[in-house]
Structure 1
Amino acid sequence: MKINDLTEIMFSNGAHRILIKRLANNDNSKQQIYLGSDFDVIKIIPSGDMYSAGVSKKGPIFKAPLNLFWIDSTGNTEQAKNSQIIFYPNYPETRMSGFLKGCSLSPSHLMQPPTPQQRQQRANRHRFLVLGVSHKSILAFCSGWEEPLSEDLDNAIKNEELKKIATVFYEYAKPGKSTQQKLIEKLISVYKSGEIESCRLNKQGAIQPYTALNGAGYTLEAQFGITPNGCSDPDFFDWELKAHSGSVVTLMTPEPDIGTYLDDLETFLRTYGTSRKADRLDFASRHIVGSFNTKTALTMHLDGYDPASKEIIDPSGGLFLKNNSGEIVAGWRFDKIIDHWKKKHSNTCFVFYTTRKSVLNYYSFGPQITLGKGTSLDRFLDALYTSVIYYDPGINMKFNGQTWKPKKRNQFRVKWKNISMLYKHLQHIDLSDI
């Protein structure tokens, strides 16, 4: 079997992307599989919810389950239910474990720790781990030292036919246009459409007018067939779409996972919010780390983080809003922050727009767009600590005559002029020049 044969099997079984790792002797069932030091690896390999798993000599540990299936040369699959990813953010390092246990299709004979003699015999030969990645699951195949597939992959790497990504991986490019090319082509079409009336998609996928002022993002998403369902997956293939007008960008809107906010929203709003009308309660005031907010009487803290080393020192910490008594009233633990960060911001496309105000606003998108690549957790946490990223909620409850109806929007935002601080690579493109 050659690489084209295997990738065809993986694509036909739902894979969207093919990742390849040349395995070292230490990549085995005892020492786990090393997935590199690049933060991007926990973005490109889909995993379940991240959780804190204590502290080791490498610092805090976070783990997440993997929905991984071994696949054979005929397309049969079997889930390796104990598979997980292990993330050491301070090292940094990512590993995979539990990928053999309880799975008859797993290549356990290829994953045994080698003897000194075997290490010498295999000095110039390699196994290869091939991962077929979709949004929710992973197909895995391992080639042996003497197999044609390993020789095929070795030659492809030597001849620079595979793209190097995320430190230790290579990517097999599916024939056809890249996701970036498809994205730009779609945005050119949107740009050339001119003014678009404010709209959004309903649950059935039909376009409907949108009357609120924050319609730019919904209108852009509607052109891509995206329903506003709060899903944290990328919007278009592996790209997140963000509309901006040159002032502020909302990066993410995760709900708190700790604090009295979760117990009773009405009590939270009456205690820390404002009420200018008898039938409305609001919590809408910017909070930055280390600064007391006079409007809410709350202070934002980034606990368990060392700003000098820019590292997490306590995995049970996180970003916490506290009252004068030190009580956490709303917060996002580190595992929650990492989990949302890894799902939302692998590749981001920022689309500039202008507005013509009317009964319903009209939006024009482009021609300027910016592609952001290469986020890292240390950049993200440092931006939170230094208030480059700030908490700017838009939460309210309205009384409709019978009950209080809540609207939750926990926004983390950044000024457009500071966006370069979050990415390793920014590419500015003028669609009118293409």
Structure 2
Amino acid sequence: MSSSASLADVANIMRQNGAEIVIFKILANNDNSKQQIYFGSDFTILQAIPTGDIYEDGYSEKKGAIFKAKVDLNWVDLQGNVENAPGAQFILYPKYPEVRLSGFVRGCGLAPGHLMQPPTPEERKDREVRQANRCLVLGIRDKSILAYVSSWEDNLSKEAAERIRTEQSERFTSVFYEYADGIRTTSTREKLINRLSEIHNMGFIESCRLDKDGNRIPYVAQNSAGLTLESFFGITPNGRSEPDFMDWELKAHSSGAVTLMTPEPDTGSYLEDLSAFMDAYATSRTDEKINFASIHRMNEPNARSSLTMQLVGFNRAKSEITDPKGGMLLTDPNGNIAAGWSFQKLLTHWKRKHANTCYVVYQKEDRDVPYFAYGPSVKLCTGAGIKNYLNALSDSVIYYDPGINMKLKDGKWKGKKRNQFRIKWKDVSSIYDSSEDVILS
């Protein structure tokens, strides 16, 4: 039975249930409960949809390394009912790369299982002749997503196809489009540039940050340039990896290398005993301070720490993960793992960090306290493809530059951890699919 509901009707239901962004995709015949739903030939969608941590799930000769991530998916109907699909998960195939959604109808009475059955040869041919399609609509919330599927004959299916054909909706990812009528008339890029232009025209700004209540307070520290910028976007300091402004991550840049991420290792003696790690691999020491601070590049033994960084289980020639249990390891001459980051750790951190990044060039003036001026140069980078990311690690375009130390205070050694992965400013564009240099007005 066909429905007369429109995209607007479904979008309104989703927004009433907390959706901030509504996107849609025309489903192919192969998008079904057996063959799963295709979410794109890259991993960009994972940087837009909230998921659990990525974990490895084996390897096959045909599909290569397999990773998965749970997703909190909830089906909605036209009466506004909502029900969770507990088995929903993304399956990641870095070999292709490709992302698919599986388990989306299992254990959920509201799920449209009758619309997601694999077609018979006759049904497939008939739908292709009639150009009849279903449409998947997703509402992206803070920590979960809402989902709705229209039938082949529904008004919504035809409306979605027409919107795509006539370019009424902007592309959100490689296969999804955004439904934004009357809600988001200005793109996040435009809003970002407009706000940055306002901040640029303020001239030099006294160093500050927001407190937990959103009040701007004086602040002087090494990271004050970034926190001052964020304060004028209403962002309170946090240790999260999610984007800062809508779907953009903000990075203040003056000169030198850029710190891309600071993930903690998830394996090695570093985790077991930091003191023993520092005793064995310190790059310098005094009676009151021990440092582990020296650039490590791929496959090059570091003379100061004796450690060599390796990307284990990755075929650079094919840009392919060959062992999902591998990752980036720091090993000593005896083969002991001092510290390591599994592929699932690297992929999870990448997923949260690098969808769209805005690098804002700033100048600093030292008065009684620091003052910062932002712009006019801004670099907008989008599409940090997973293969670009892993290739950059393999080639040491992204390198490990730790700032870890232990200090003796009141007779006790206290550790400070900072595992930095950095890139030279001239190489930043190489890890993204596209970059754009903008001069603020």
The structural deviation recorded for 1:312 is: 1.0
Residues 360-371 of structure 1 mapped to structure 2, 5 A cutoff: 360-371=369-380
Q: Does 1:141 align with 2:148?
A: yes
Change (3 A) 1:395 1:218: farther
The counterpart of 1:289, out of the listed 275, 298, 305, is 298
**Conserved 8 A contact 2:362-2:374:** yes
The counterpart of 2:206, out of the listed 197, 213, 223, is 197
Counterpart in the other structure of 2:328: 319
Q: Specify the SS of the correspondent of 1:371.
A: strand
Counterpart in the other structure of 1:11: 15
CA distance in 2, matches of 1:206, 1:319: 41
Q: Does 1:101 align with 2:110?
A: no
CA distance in 1, matches of 2:65, 2:285: 45
The counterpart of 1:79, out of the listed 81, 84, 87, is 84
Deviations 1:238-257 (A, max 9, x none): 00011111321111111111
Deviations 1:373-410 (A, max 9, x none): 11111111111111111111111222331543332211
Deviations 1:167-203 (A, max 9, x none): 3222223432211111112211221222222233344
Residues 82-161 of structure 1 mapped to structure 2, 5 A cutoff: 82-123=87-128, 124-161=131-168
Q: Give the letter for the 1:12 counterpart.
A: Q
Q: Give the letter for the 2:45 counterpart.
A: V
**Conserved 8 A contact 1:38-1:166:** no
CA distance in 2, matches of 1:171, 1:71: 18
Change (3 A) 1:359 1:406: farther
**Conserved 8 A contact 2:42-2:386:** no
Q: Give the letter for the 2:314 counterpart.
A: Y
Q: Number of residue pairs matched? A: 432
The counterpart of 1:29, out of the listed 16, 30, 33, is 33
Deviations 1:310-351 (A, max 9, x none): 211111111111111111111111111111111110000000
Residues 179-218 of structure 1 mapped to structure 2, 5 A cutoff: 179-218=188-227
Q: Give the letter for the 2:92 counterpart.
A: F
Counterpart in the other structure of 1:223: 232
Q: Does 1:51 align with 2:55?
A: yes
Residues 384-403 of structure 1 mapped to structure 2, 5 A cutoff: 384-403=393-412
CA distance in 2, matches of 1:55, 1:127: 32
Counterpart in the other structure of 2:360: 351
CA distance in 1, matches of 2:213, 2:173: 38
CA distance in 2, matches of 1:355, 1:188: 18
Counterpart in the other structure of 1:69: 74
CA distance in 2, matches of 1:103, 1:88: 26
The structural deviation recorded for 1:133 is: 1.2
Counterpart in the other structure of 2:174: 167
Q: Does 1:422 align with 2:431?
A: yes
The structural deviation recorded for 1:93 is: 1.4
- Bigger mean CA deviation after superposition, 91-100 or 31-40: 31-40
Change (3 A) 1:369 1:172: same
Deviations 1:77-124 (A, max 9, x none): 111111000000111211100000111110011111112222233222
Question: For structure 1, which runs of at least 5 residues remain unmatched after alignment?
Answer: none
**Conserved 8 A contact 1:39-1:166:** no
Question: For structure 2, which runs of at least 5 residues remain unmatched after alignment?
Answer: none
CA distance in 2, matches of 1:186, 1:158: 33
CA distance in 2, matches of 1:205, 1:275: 41
**Cα RMSD between the aligned structures?**
1.6
**Conserved 8 A contact 1:243-1:249:** no
Change (3 A) 1:201 1:422: same
The structural deviation recorded for 1:218 is: 2.1
**Conserved 8 A contact 2:54-2:69:** yes
Q: Give the letter for the 1:66 counterpart.
A: V
**Conserved 8 A contact 1:355-1:364:** yes
**Conserved 8 A contact 1:392-1:411:** yes
Q: Specify the SS of the correspondent of 2:250.
A: strand
The structural deviation recorded for 1:275 is: 5.1
Q: Specify the SS of the correspondent of 2:200.
A: helix
Deviations 1:121-156 (A, max 9, x none): 322201111111123211100001111111221221
CA distance in 2, matches of 1:208, 1:284: 32
TM-score, normalised relative to structure 2? 0.94
**Conserved 8 A contact 1:213-1:361:** no
**Conserved 8 A contact 2:309-2:330:** yes
**Conserved 8 A contact 2:283-2:294:** no
Q: Specify the SS of the correspondent of 2:163.
A: helix
Deviations 1:61-82 (A, max 9, x none): 0000001100111222111111
The counterpart of 1:239, out of the listed 245, 248, 254, is 248
